[in-house]
Structure 1
Amino acid sequence: MPVTLNNLTVAEAYLRLLKLRGIDYLFANAGTDFAPIIEAFASAGSDTNIMPEPILVPHENVAVAMAMGHTLVSGKPQAVMVHVNVGTANALCGIMNANRIQIPMLFTAGRTPILEEGAPGARSGFIHWPQEMYDQGGIVREMVRWDYELRDARQLEAVVDRALAMSGSTPAGPVYLTLPREVLAEKIESITFADMASMRPVVAGLPPSDALDEVAEWLSEAKRPVLVTSATGRTQAALDAVQNFAETFAIPVIPFNPRFVEISHDHPMNMGADLGKFLPDADLVFVSEAIAPWIPSQVRPGDGARIVHIGEDPLFGDLPMRSFAAHGTLAGAPAAIFRELIKRAKVSDTVEIRRAKLHSEKVPTAFTNASDPAEMPTPRQVTQAIARICKGALMFKESPALLDDFGLDAAGQFFFAGAAGGLGWSMGAAMGASLANGRQPVVVTVGDGSYMFNTPLAAHHVAASQAIPMLTVIYNNCAWHAVRRSTHGMYPSGHAKAAPREPLTDFGVDFDYVHMMDVAGGYGERVDRFEQLVPALERAMANLQEGRQALLDVRIAAGRK
């Protein structure tokens, strides 16, 4: 039934409408533009179910990441609000990630009051002049699906419904809505909202039948097919479809830069990340939700291979340049497409021969023990220990950790969401996911450089204030090793590689990060030797079970695997 509200402000009506449309949280970093929003939340008193739950987040990057993490688990878009243009700028890195990994999100910001005087919400402080811009939305326009400014109370429902529909439409992504303070402060005598949104998102369907038939014929004829996937496994239905497809036709699956569990760890068609073993000889290559399915300067398919791209936007139209060959493009929901190909393609005589060969070639992931327990652990040893000790926790990767070493077998267990390379998303995303799942324990694996990008003081503050059981494991090599590796790749015999201390990559200062827990009220421990690793993880997990956060500062040798 329609909902009628009387004698309230636009801010109150807006928050009530968000709750009606299924938004559970408003992750917020407040400023002077928030006064009507704060008053609206306070007006609800103890009636906390009529508006989204407000979460104070001390940095915008963490706020956006929390909304991302919640949606990755719940599938429901959440709301973020930041302070005018400066908050928008601080949040932009996170919005880039959300855009590239196709996360729906209602990203909002206040707007400097339009009126200089004469109305509730008009300018009342010095900062209201220097913060005004000609085009505040221009800060984020390339990275959002839609942007608009709320101009009148009478359009409130239409604006929110369109924002959520645009955000959720295929391919999904964040939208940006600015909220002037005078509009939020305006009084409304009465307003009525429909119980259902007036607009629904566009949902991915199936490609044309003739396109499916053509690719099915290619598959029936193929002798050496391969599937490269990066971000297909965000739901269990999609993961099941990939696995059934691979099993039916004995197709090796290569999770390349996997964002999720793309195929179960123990699945017979999971061939790990070794593109070089399968790609050059393949005669048919399926590329599923992979923005960059291989690095052409390192490995590529042979000249005679047919290449088929599958996904909601298989050619990634928002990228200026992406020249991977596409002899076939199947636009739609990958799960539905794989199910259709199973129906349409013939299982040839070569399938069982190929299956037997792949089974014989599959190498199980080996557990790596230290030759000397007193040595620093390697990244793989750290990850494999986490996999053994932290079972049942959700895993967030912003570190050298490899998906294979986690040994996971279901969707929703692993997330690598920094799809735009915007470092500093993992701690916020983990906390948002934990909130979406009833405060389920979460584990963040993060390099020491990425840890600093996470604005850790802000992140630990939220974990403490919301009692989120988060374990942060820092893979600490006192450097930006990814930058170092890239430099050595370009200049293998260069001066940087020979330098005793490489410029701009070696941190030079050895921070003892465990003391972050002194101020956050959590458990912290430093690990310098392999023999300390498992007991430290066990102690950390015990603290999570008590509802506390924990941090392990694990020292790893740079360059070791």
Structure 2
Amino acid sequence: MTQKTLTNVTVAEAYLHLLADRGIEYFFANAGTDFAPLIEAFAKGEAQGQTLPKPVTAPHENIAVSMALGHALVTGKPQAVMVHVNVGTANALCGLLNAQRVRAPMLFNAGRTPIMEEGMRGARSGFVHWTQEMYDQAGMVREAVKWDYELRNGEQLELVVDRALSIAGSAPQGPVYLTLPREVLATTLESFTYTPGGGRQRAVTAAGANLTALAEAADILARANTPLIITSTLGRNPAAMAALSRFALDMAIPVVSYNPRTVDLPSTHPMNMGQDINAWLGQADAILVLDTMVPWLPREGSPRAGAKVIHIGEDPLYQNLPIRSFQCDLAISADTEIVLGELGRLMADGRSDADKVEHRRAGLAERRRDLEAVRLAAWRAAQSSGDLTPLHISRAIDAIKGDALVFKESGLRIDHMTFDEPGTYFFSGAAGGLGWSLGAALGAQVAAPDRLVISTVGDGSYMFGTPLAAHFVAAEQQLPVLFVVFNNRGWHAVRRSTRGMYKEGYAADASKQANEPLTDFGVEMNFEKVMDVVGGHGERVEHPDDLPKALDRALTVIRSERRQVLLNVMCTT
């Protein structure tokens, strides 16, 4: 096997060369004193024209980890992130939790306080090198990563990197955590020999399903009169989306994308019945749950008595959730794309009743027409209200987006939009860590520089996203992202939760107080002014008729000037 040897290099240099060889194109980073050997290695690489990952400066850790998340969502490939020791890890933890829950592959690095107090190159040289040391730095992220390790010796570098990347890429994918002590990075190696071409270890792919379990699932679905499919993140794999499209159409089974995080089924597909699970759950006599962590809310509804529920996915029981007790009569751990193809073949082979399928198809066509009528009525009501609503924003974005990559951390109404292509919609703050969308959109723009990328955020989420840091990166890297702020002047999710629990309470009675505690924003925020600082284009939009024109101007700036744009849209909830 061909090998490559580097001579007289630091471990930091060897690490960057190895990452480049393993397909890591970007190094998203928020630097600290532990980075000195890496910064020197990057500078040397640039001076000598070496091929290394491109370093991207992120002024806040949340942006760095969210950029890696966005890149992975678009490409499916892990990128490297590095932050400053324990404090940087703590700042990035929110984004790391999101990446773990959405199963995004990521090589998450952190420095480690120098081990030695003196006597080695890279040993402690500042006051903070004592105060930042922890007994177990990785302990704070251990529940959010698949693997963690501290690089202890440059001689083990190749095997550590290959193990990290193979575990991150193995199904179910996710982030891994590698800490890099400064003394180790600063160590000079007389020679470093590695095997080029992708590494000595390979990620584990999702397996095919057990044939007996598949036959049982096919029998359950074939016997059912009112089967239902529930999805949420199946669209991470475009081929799985295509398989679902064929299977649902052939078998005339309605699909509800409950709390969807990806495009799971084309919006225009005849079997796409929207996102309202409660309209379907109690009627189904067989339920196929595909790649869905939370298929319904038990307090709002449950499957009807006697219904059979099948869960399918890489880890259909989501074993890293402490409690998840949804009914499960059959669980199949397998690649969803493969399973749907096999189920289709089994059901077409004498199991399925053609007359029953066609009768169901006719009924579903009527349900689909009813759904469109409800949506049209909602739109007309919004138009007649005189307010600028999330429906106005959603439909206006839909009119201009084309094949854009759209990130949702807002009141975006995807039920009034058309997403027919896989990988064009992402709702990935799966752990509830706010502020991910700004950085994720930037990472997506890095991955797809010629695509329009749209980040939609609420005003609260926008402030969580360390916006000045995000807009700095957009300016510095020349990433012409369109940021749309749904500015409803408060925490709508918190407000909705409070009023859901206390429908007749004091918080719900606006006459009793001017502002709802801890939810209403009492300060007028002119977010569009931030664009003046970073050289972008910003506008405030207050009337429904002005929104399409503002979006047209935004596209002109993005396409002709390659500058970022922020629209501060003053809307209702």
TM-score, scaled to structure 2? 0.96
Note the C-alpha offset of 1:402.
2.2
CA distance in 2, matches of 1:483, 1:426: 19
Of 211, 232, 248, the match for 2:250: 248
Q: 1:237 to 1:536 in 2, by over 3 A?
A: same
CA drift of 1:277 comes to 2.1
| 2:97 alignment counterpart | 96
After the TM superposition, which residues 427-442 of structure 1 pair with which residues of structure 2 at under 5 Å, given as runs? 427-442=438-453
What stretches of structure 1 of length at least 5 have no aligned partner?
none
Task: Name the counterpart of 2:54.
Answer: 53
Contact 2:538 2:567 in 1 (8 A): yes
Equivalent residues in 2 for 1:503-514 (5 A)?
A: 503-514=517-528
Q: Give the conservation status (yes or no) of the 8 Å contact 1:374–1:529.
A: no
8 Å CA contact 1:248–1:347 kept in 2: the answer is no
> 1:404: Cα distance to partner?
2.2
Preserved contact between residue 61 and residue 454 of structure 1 (Cα < 8 Å): yes
> SS state of the match for residue 4, structure 1?
strand
Q: Say whether residues 1:84 and 2:80 are aligned partners.
A: no
Letter in 2 for 1:229: T
Query: Normalized per residue, which structure has more helix?
Result: 2
Match of 1:397 among 408, 428, 449: 408
1:30 partner amino acid: A
C-alpha distance in 2 between matches for 1:467 and 1:115 = 41
**In the alignment, what sits opposite 2:164?**
163
CA distance in 1, matches of 2:272, 2:189: 59
The DSSP-based 3-state class of the residue aligned with 1:164 is helix
- Equivalent residues of 1:82, 1:108 under 8 A apart: yes
1:58 shift after superposition: 0.4
**Partner residue of 2:153?**
152
User: Does the 8 Å CA contact 1:261/1:412 hold for their aligned counterparts?
Assistant: yes
1:147-168 C-alpha deviation (Å, 9 max, x unpaired): 0000001100010000011111
Q: Deviations over 1:206-235 (max 9, x none)?
A: 121100011111111111000010000112
Give the 3 Å change call, closer, same or farther, for CA 46–408 of structure 1 in structure 2.
farther
SS in 2 for 1:296: coil
**Correspondence for 2:570:** 555
**Distance verdict in 2 for CA 1:102–1:48, change over 3 Å:** farther
C-alpha separation in 2, matches of 1:49 and 1:419 = 38
Q: Which residue identity is paired with 1:347?
A: S
* One-letter code aligned to 2:524: D
Structure 1's 532 and 47: CA in aligned 2 closer, same or farther, altered over 3 A? farther
* Alignment-derived partner of residue 407 in structure 1: 418
Offset from partner CA, 1:374-393 (integer Å, 9 cap, x none): 93311011011001023232
Q: Which residue of 1 aligns with 2:480?
A: 469
Q: Distance in 1 between matches of 2:492 and 2:280?
A: 28
How far apart are 1:412 and its partner, in Å?
Answer: 1.0
Question: Contact between 1:472 and 1:551, CA under 8 Å: does it hold in 2?
Answer: yes
Match of 2:493 in 1: 482
> Which string of whole-angstrom CA distances, capped at 9 and with x for unpartnered residues, describes residues 119-161 of structure 1?
1100011110000000001010011000000000110001000
Amino acid at match of 1:532: D
- Partners of 2:223 and 2:352 within 8 A in 1: no
Aligned equivalent of 2:530: 516
| Alpha-carbon distance in structure 1 between the residues aligned to 2:40 and 2:258 | 48
Question: Contact 1:145 / 1:175 at 8 angstroms: preserved in 2?
Answer: yes
1:17 aligns with 2:22: no
Structure 1 counterpart of 2:437: 426
In the aligned structure 2, how far is the partner of 1:440 from the partner of 1:222?
43
Q: Is the 8 A contact 2:382 2:391 kept in 1?
A: no
2:382·2:392 contact (CA, 8 Å) conserved in 1? Answer: no
- 2:364 — aligned with what? 358
Kept in 1, the 8 Å contact 2:209–2:335? The answer is: no
**Is 1:540 the equivalent of 2:540?**
no
AA paired with 1:248? Answer: D
- Map 1:285-300 → 2, pairs under 5 A: 285-300=287-302
Matching of residue 450 in structure 1 with residue 451 in structure 2: no
Partners of 2:382 and 2:389 within 8 A in 1: no
Which TM-score applies when normalising by structure 1?
0.98
Cα shift readout 1:67-110 (whole Å, capped 9, x = no counterpart): 01111111110000000000000000000000000011000000
Aligned residue number for residue 4 of structure 2 = 3
Distance in 1 between residues matched to 2:413 and 2:236, nearest whole Å = 17
Distance 1:17 1:369 in 2: 57
Q: CA RMSD in A?
A: 1.3
Runs of 4+ in 1 over 6 A off after TM superposition: 370-374
1:384 aligns with 2:386: no
Equivalent residue runs for 1:160-309 within 5 Å: 160-195=161-196, 196-309=198-311
Question: Matched residues in 2 for 1:392 and 1:370: separation?
Answer: 28
Cα contact 2:114–2:122 (8 A) shared by 1:
yes
Per-residue CA distance 1:24-64 (angstroms, 9 max, x = gap): 00000000000000000001125555210000000101100
Structure 2 residue runs of 5 or longer lacking an equivalent are: none
